[in-house]
Structure 1
């Protein structure tokens, strides 16, 4: 049990769309990730998707709805089964919480990220 400095963890990688595990919460991975550009539309059939914007601005596209802008200090939860796509015009830093083993790409044709621990 010790504090985890998210800013320091985010300096350890420069890639986008590659979540890195920084801690465990029950049966979930707590991760940090950097986004820039857009991720494919996808869904997670069995779990909600949790996003907490740490720095920057994320846009969440939800199928059939207007895009939602999520700013630093705000969180966004996508209910399971909802088709969505996160994107960012400029780099954004985000904290994610997902069940261990859940592919970040959901049902998209994109290869899931390996989610290394830092």
Structure 2
């Protein structure tokens, strides 16, 4: 990884593809990823890891299928939320957003179980930041 400071605004400006995270750094065995999002993602679950979200710009909605039923959390800019392992969730950004994700290196963006993957979704473990 890079041994110099990384400006997140410059990292985000370096790509345009939506729902396609870039790895900006690693912390121990975890990736710190940034991505641009707009519209709906897919329902998916990470069986063995939590997923951390930080909204850098815009607003992110995360629909959750919890034991008590479905609900949606709304994250305005500057908000954080962690989806617990084993909980199906579906991020969406009706007006677009830029987010930072923190999850174990090698975690697939579409989780361990998911709906059909549409063309606008990049099923990846993250891309190197150029």
- Fold match by TM threshold 0.5: yes
2:63 corresponds in structure 1 to: 61
Residue pair 2:41, 2:91 contacting (<8 A) in 1 also: yes
Q: Which runs of 4+ in 1 moved over 2 A?
A: none
Deviation at 1:114, TM superposition (A): 5.1
The alpha-carbon deviation at position 98 of structure 1 amounts to: 1.2
Task: State how far apart, in whole Å, the 2-side matches of 1:49 and 1:86 are.
Answer: 11
8 Å CA contact 1:18–1:114 kept in 2: the answer is no
* Gap runs ≥5 in structure 2: none
Aligned residues of 1:28 and 1:99 also touching (Cα < 8 A): yes
State the alpha-carbon separation in 1 of the partners of residues 33 and 45 from structure 2: 19
Distance across 2 between alignment mates of 1:8 and 1:104: 22
DSSP-derived class of the 2:71 partner: coil
Structure 1 partner of 2:85: 80
Partner of 1:26: 28
Counterpart residue number, 1:116? 127
For residues 37 and 113 of structure 1, the distance between their equivalents in structure 2, rounded to whole angstroms, comes to 18
Please give the alpha-carbon distance, in whole angstroms, between the structure 2 residues aligned to 1:88 and 1:59.
Answer: 6
What SS does the corresponding residue of 1:65 show, helix, strand or coil? strand
Root-mean-square deviation over aligned CA pairs: 1.2
